[in-house]
Amino acid sequence: MKILVTGGMGYIGSHTCVELLNDGYEIVVIDDFSNSKPEVEDKIKTITGKDFKFYEGDIKNRKLLNKIFEENKIDAVMHFAGYKAVGESVKKPLMYYDNNLNTTLTLLDVMKEHGCNKFIFSSSATVYGKPHTLPILEDFPLSTTNPYGTTKLMIEMILKDLFIADNDLNITILRYFNPIGAHESGLIGENPNDIPNNLMPYIVKVATGEYECLSVFGNDYDTHDGTGVRDYIHVVDLAKGHIKALENMNGLKYYNLGTGNGFSVLDLVNTFEKVNNVKVNYKIAPRREGDIDACYADASLAKKELGWETTKTIEDMCKDAYNFVIKNK
């Protein structure tokens, strides 16, 4: 079976390429390196000992996409490509709507032309907005608070309409919670060039001495220690969820991919310090606008229907995130 992986040089896509290759799938990858580096291609090949075809370019380029589908018999598409920084999306909404929506529209259209009917989409827990109760189930009401989140919700709506029009399609929408960690080899992981928005990449940069101090955004939330609680999931567990989704496609499906456990900012800082034997300096800062107290998944549907559950601990996530950055400094 041959899978087209869009955005396969990025953080989650690269880990999924590894799992696909390890499980014997053939893959074809497209990426424009807008948020990744060319060396990832070789790293995936080193980890797996397997080869694959790579196309550099923009998914909005219909000619290139047609060429890919003509040169390869693609059985299914995993669509990771897109922009993902919440803050940037508020400042540059058109850039986000253009990239996230137009890549998806072009891709779906070219898939149809070539008779490819399996599509797995990277959505996000951000589509649940501010949940009224926890844990979050797939049928909770949906809303968004920023343009990035709105692109995810709009794509979900487009996919629903598309499925209504064409029941032969198999579409699986995966709503990720908070992916962190890295491959245990330390060859691939997440190490943003810009100042990170997300907690784990920031913790790592404080631990390595690149930044002086982590700002903990608020300690007066309604949580066990007052700091924000999230459902952190190891990126390798997340990648494995995509294989299970691929093996169990059946119509239009939605799944939460999370652990079902909530950890606070200070839980993560303390665990990181303990397992890596390093100091993470932090100070309490005001709340970040738009943040919610707590967010964690009910992931029982993915367990029941896909046979998927996470195996990595919060300690594994902290260890692997640090190992990657130390090895790639």
Show which residues are catalytic.
Answer: 148
- Residue 35 contacts ligand NAD per CB under 6 A: yes
Q: Tell me, what amino acid is at 204?
A: V
Among ligand UFG, ligand NAD, none, the one that 291 touches (CB under a kind-dependent 5 to 8 A) is ligand UFG
Q: Tell me, what amino acid is at 151?
A: T
Among 16, 35, 100, 126, binds ligand UFG (CB under 6 A): 126
Within 13 A of 56's CA, how many CA atoms are on the CB side? 9
> Which range, of 74-82, 284-292, 302-310, 311-319, touches ligand NAD by CB under 6 A?
74-82
Q: How far apart are CA 146 and CA 220, in angstroms?
A: 23
Among 178, 259, 261, 276, binds ligand UFG (CB under 6 A): 178
Among ligand NAD, ligand UFG, none, the one that 217 touches (CB under a kind-dependent 5 to 8 A) is ligand UFG
Q: How far apart are CA 289 and CA 165, in angstroms?
A: 39
- Residue 54 contacts ligand UFG per CB under 6 A: no
Inter-axis angle of helices 265-276 and 199-207, nearest 10: 40
> Which range, of 74-82, 193-201, 235-243, 313-321, touches ligand UFG by CB under 6 A?
193-201
Residue nearest ligand UFG, Cβ-based: 228
Nearer residue to ligand UFG within complex by CB, 41 or 201? 201
Among 17, 55, 86, 103, binds ligand NAD (CB under 6 A): 103
Triad 221, 236, 160: Cα angle to 5°: 75
Residues 306, 245 contacting (CB under 8 angstroms): yes
Which of 39, 37, 29 lies closest to 81, judged by CA? 29
> Which range, of 19-27, 33-41, 160-168, 306-314, touches ligand NAD by CB under 6 A?
33-41
Residues paired with 254 in a beta bridge? 173
Q: How far apart are the first and last CA of the chain?
A: 37
Among 12, 21, 77, 155, binds ligand NAD (CB under 6 A): 12
Q: How far apart are CA 42 and CA 109, in angstroms?
A: 31
Residues that bind ligand NAD (CB under 6 A): 7, 9-13, 30-36, 58-60, 80-82, 84, 99, 103, 122, 124, 176, 179
